[in-house]
Amino acid sequence: MNYTQLLQVIAASCLMTVALMLVLRSLLKRINRELQRYLPPRYLQSKGVRRRTPVTPVVSDVHEQS
């Protein structure tokens, strides 16, 4: 095997890898779309970021000494 044949094999394997990745991505998108169609709506709602309410300090005059 000479140098040009080696480059052709490398190029062919790169093209096959890219084609395989595109097919797999398409297949995963299709599966994801099918799964989302069968899920109940509550699982599809975005929850967002839940923020904790700030804690307000309780001021007590009983423990303070004057």
Residue 22: is its pLDDT beyond 80?
yes
User: How much is the average pLDDT of 31-58?
Assistant: 71
Residue extents of the structural domains in the chain: 3-38
Query: How many whole angstroms separate alpha carbon 48 and alpha carbon 41?
Result: 16
Which amino acid, 64? E
Assessment of whether the complete model's pTM goes beyond 0.75: no
Query: How many whole angstroms separate alpha carbon 36 and alpha carbon 43?
Result: 9
Contact 41, 33 (CB under 8 A): no
Which amino acid, 26? S
Query: How many whole angstroms separate alpha carbon 64 and alpha carbon 6?
Result: 85
